[in-house]
Chain A
Amino acid sequence: MSQLLTYESIDNTVLDTLRPPGRQYWLTVALLFGGVLIGAACWLYQILTGIGVGGQNNPVHWGTYLINFVFWVGIAHSGTLISAILHLFRAGWRNPIARAAETMTVFAVCTAGLYPFIHLGRVWMVYYMLPLPNQRTLWPNFQSPLMFDVVAIGTYLTVSSLFWYTGMLPDLATIRDRSQGVRRKIFGVLSMGWTGEFEQWRHYTRGYLFFAALATPLVISVHSVVSWDFALSVIPGWHTTIFAPYFVAGAIHSGLAMVLTLMIPLRKIFHYENIITIRVLESVAKTIVFTGLIVGFAYGTEVFIAWYSHNIVEMETFRWRALGDYALEYWIMVTCNTLIPLLFLFSKIRTHLRWLFIISIFVNIGMWYERFVIIIGSVAHDFLPHAWGLYRPTLIEFGIMLGSFCLFFFLFVLFVKHMPSVAMTEIKETLHEGGAHVG
């Protein structure tokens, strides 16, 4: 039932989404902003009172702040996978969702970047993390994985933002040329005078190719660096070589699920059904099966090697994970991440919007719990039985978590109504002469 797509119909569909929004939209924005304010209030309370208002203590000194940090960085990665890596593979199904995915990346990294600040407690000391010359010749310790994070996340935020903005240039020019008045002026500045001349295009396509080629190793390295926050320690359950590819696969897994969670409502509200077709969503679902299997493979390998090592601490750690105090979280993780996505092997399920949406939510929940199991589950139960302890997040932590989720959706919702949420230029590229179906 899809109509034929033409250059004009694509432009019109996307420009339609930029018309002045109605009351429902502003209500949503207000609600989300309310959530952000709650988070900010909790954070302010923490700054004034002290980091102890969170549940982290001895022995579990890393709690939801780290879980959410890793969660949001993970979500960011599949945006870059879709826009950069799939560009290198010339996979046409990425084009309809590339813009929204890249936007998701930028906002997810922003959200993730807040967490090291939050977790600092005394946020005014953040400058310690930067190599600023000072009288005492004190410098950050670049051998620390936490400094690797600073460098990697900083690079990722910069590169993603530049990639995102560069990708938007031709579309911003399209909007400029179809607008009047103030909007025309704003988009005129934003589009940097882009006129679609071939002199511009030839440099642009080369530059874009390099962006994609450089963003690819960046994706892999950034989440490997985040995984090494844990793997470079000596704690059982953390100190294991598989973490780097395991985390990267898990990041892409959770990010793809978030892509589905965002795209399915987006396409309904903005009438993008001809552009973001079921085939595109189906391709995302199939990739989720693949990443879910990788994650499941990692779970199995860790358990096997824990037994193989015959190291009593390793064996106890993994026994406790599956059967101990946090066993429920462990089994939620395994079920939601590996077993439930296998439902996507059935084509009836992966072409059905409701199932796509529901399963994507489950995967996100499962991936959040994976970080819980890894972070909390190892530190709570490491070498000395005398030092074992449990962890429960406090209301302040939940408030901050709510704030971060609301911040992400708030930024995303603001973006989609004021900027082009589908890459018009890229969709046009996939069309053949005279208009065609996409995907």
Chain B
Amino acid sequence: MKAVPMSAERVSLMGIFGSESQTAATIRDLRASDYTLERVHSPIPSHVIADALDLPKSKVGWFTLAGGIIGFFSGFALAAFTAARWSMIVGGKPVVALIPFFIVGFEFTILFAIFGNVLGLISQARLPRFRVYKRYDPRFTGHKFGVLVSCETAKKNDLYRLFEAKGAEINVYDNP
């Protein structure tokens, strides 16, 4: 899904579907063609559509991993640093004791991994997004799937027929 420089000779068509399989079939056709697939909306994270779109793997996992590694060392470091301020034997245990500090390290690993995960999620998915889309149908979070395609004005009718063949409800936007 690429951003194409907008010009007056382009139009956008939004095809609205009621089923994921029709949406996926349309996407496959569109990818095989040279129309520009702008966006796909879906109320569910459909595997079928994901396969049709063949998107690259998300980078969120790297944020999570980084967070986890930072957390692991921070947890141990916090526990060891605070214990080492005073050289007192408490409860007959060594001042810096790895066996109990592992628990602190473990919990911090999970906590910071989750922070990384959330950071990755909001940065990659570009949330929160408060600018409202002009081409958006509120049914996309309900029960309809949407495929927004842009093309040159000349090819508009071909695209329209493509959508029609798949049984979509079509909205045409002349200013893309």
Binding site for B on A (CB under 8 A): 6-8, 11, 131, 137, 139-143, 147-148, 151-152, 154-155, 158-159, 162-163, 166, 169-170, 173-174, 176-178, 192-207, 210-211, 214, 217-218, 221-222, 225, 228, 425, 428-429, 433-434
**Residues of B in contact with A, size category:** 35 or more
Measured in the bound complex, the distance between the Cα atoms of B50 and A170 in whole Å is: 17
**Which of A176, A177, A210 is the one whose CB lies under 8 Å from B61?**
A210
Given known A143-B90, A194-B127, contact A203–B41 (CB-CB < 8 A): no
Given known A193-B127, A202-B55, contact A7–B141 (CB-CB < 8 A): no
B113 is an interface residue with CB less than 8 A from chain A = yes
B175 is an interface residue with CB less than 8 A from chain A = no
Given known A142-B101, A158-B114, contact A199–B140 (CB-CB < 8 A): no
Contact yes or no, B21 A139, CB < 8 A: no
A residues within 8 A CB of B66?
none
B4 is an interface residue with CB less than 8 A from chain A = no
Measured in the bound complex, the distance between the Cα atoms of B11 and A118 in whole Å is: 65
**Which of A6, A197, A428, A434 is the one whose CB lies under 8 Å from B39?**
A197
B residues within 8 A CB of A200?
125-127
A residues within 8 A CB of B42?
196, 198, 201
Given known A192-B127, A428-B44, contact A151–B117 (CB-CB < 8 A): no
**Which of B45, B107, B120, B132 is the one whose CB lies under 8 Å from A205?**
B45
Q: Lowest 7 CB-CB distances: which A-B pairs, in order? A: A193-B129, A7-B143, A177-B138, A139-B82, A192-B128, A142-B79, A207-B121
Can you show 5 pairs from A to B with CB atoms below 8 A apart?
A: A201-B42, A202-B58, A203-B60, A221-B106, A429-B45
Given known A139-B85, A143-B100, A174-B43, contact A203–B58 (CB-CB < 8 A): yes
Minimum Cβ distance to chain A for residue B140 (Å)? 5
Contact yes or no, B141 A207, CB < 8 A: no
Given known A8-B142, A137-B85, A428-B44, contact A151–B60 (CB-CB < 8 A): no
Measured in the bound complex, the distance between the Cα atoms of B130 and A140 in whole Å is: 43
In the complex formed, the residue of A with least CB distance to B118 is A162
B residues within 8 A CB of A197?
39-41
A residues within 8 A CB of B25?
none
B161 is an interface residue with CB less than 8 A from chain A = no
Contact yes or no, A11 B60, CB < 8 A: no
Contact yes or no, A204 B45, CB < 8 A: yes
Give the residue among A162, A166, A206 with the most B Cβ atoms within 10 A.
A206
Minimum Cβ distance to chain A for residue B85 (Å)? 5
In the complex formed, the residue of B with least CB distance to A225 is B103
Contact yes or no, B121 A166, CB < 8 A: yes
Minimum Cβ distance to chain B for residue A126 (Å)? 18
A residues within 8 A CB of B30?
none
Given known A142-B100, A202-B58, A429-B45, contact A211–B114 (CB-CB < 8 A): yes
Given known A148-B104, A194-B141, contact A203–B82 (CB-CB < 8 A): no
Given known A143-B83, A195-B140, contact A207–B120 (CB-CB < 8 A): yes
In the complex formed, the residue of A with least CB distance to B56 is A202
Contact yes or no, A142 B41, CB < 8 A: no
Binding site for A on B (CB under 8 A): 1, 19-21, 39-46, 49-50, 53, 55, 57-58, 60-61, 64, 75, 78-79, 82-83, 85-86, 90-91, 93, 97, 100-101, 103-104, 106-108, 110-111, 113-114, 117-118, 120-122, 124-133, 136, 138-143
Contact yes or no, B20 A433, CB < 8 A: yes
In the complex formed, the residue of B with least CB distance to A177 is B138
Given known A198-B40, A218-B110, contact A142–B45 (CB-CB < 8 A): no
Minimum Cβ distance to chain B for residue A76 (Å)? 15
Measured in the bound complex, the distance between the Cα atoms of B41 and A184 in whole Å is: 20
Minimum Cβ distance to chain A for residue B70 (Å)? 14
**Which of B45, B82, B106, B107 is the one whose CB lies under 8 Å from A140?**
B82
A residues within 8 A CB of B103?
148, 151-152, 221, 225, 228
Contact yes or no, B111 A155, CB < 8 A: yes
B residues within 8 A CB of A221?
103, 106-107, 110
Measured in the bound complex, the distance between the Cα atoms of B55 and A166 in whole Å is: 22
Measured in the bound complex, the distance between the Cα atoms of B62 and A207 in whole Å is: 11
Given known A141-B83, A202-B58, contact A196–B78 (CB-CB < 8 A): no
Minimum Cβ distance to chain B for residue A121 (Å)? 23
Given known A197-B39, A198-B53, A204-B45, contact A177–B141 (CB-CB < 8 A): yes
Measured in the bound complex, the distance between the Cα atoms of B57 and A170 in whole Å is: 21
Measured in the bound complex, the distance between the Cα atoms of B44 and A11 in whole Å is: 13
Measured in the bound complex, the distance between the Cα atoms of B18 and A8 in whole Å is: 11
Contact yes or no, B97 A143, CB < 8 A: yes
Measured in the bound complex, the distance between the Cα atoms of B46 and A218 in whole Å is: 28
Measured in the bound complex, the distance between the Cα atoms of B126 and A140 in whole Å is: 39
Measured in the bound complex, the distance between the Cα atoms of B136 and A173 in whole Å is: 13
Contact yes or no, A204 B121, CB < 8 A: yes
Contact yes or no, B107 A170, CB < 8 A: no
Measured in the bound complex, the distance between the Cα atoms of B19 and A140 in whole Å is: 57
A residues within 8 A CB of B106?
217, 221
Measured in the bound complex, the distance between the Cα atoms of B130 and A192 in whole Å is: 7
Contact yes or no, A193 B107, CB < 8 A: no
Contact yes or no, A196 B141, CB < 8 A: yes
Give the residue among A152, A163, A194, A202 with the most B Cβ atoms within 10 A.
A202
Measured in the bound complex, the distance between the Cα atoms of B125 and A256 in whole Å is: 34
Measured in the bound complex, the distance between the Cα atoms of B103 and A218 in whole Å is: 11
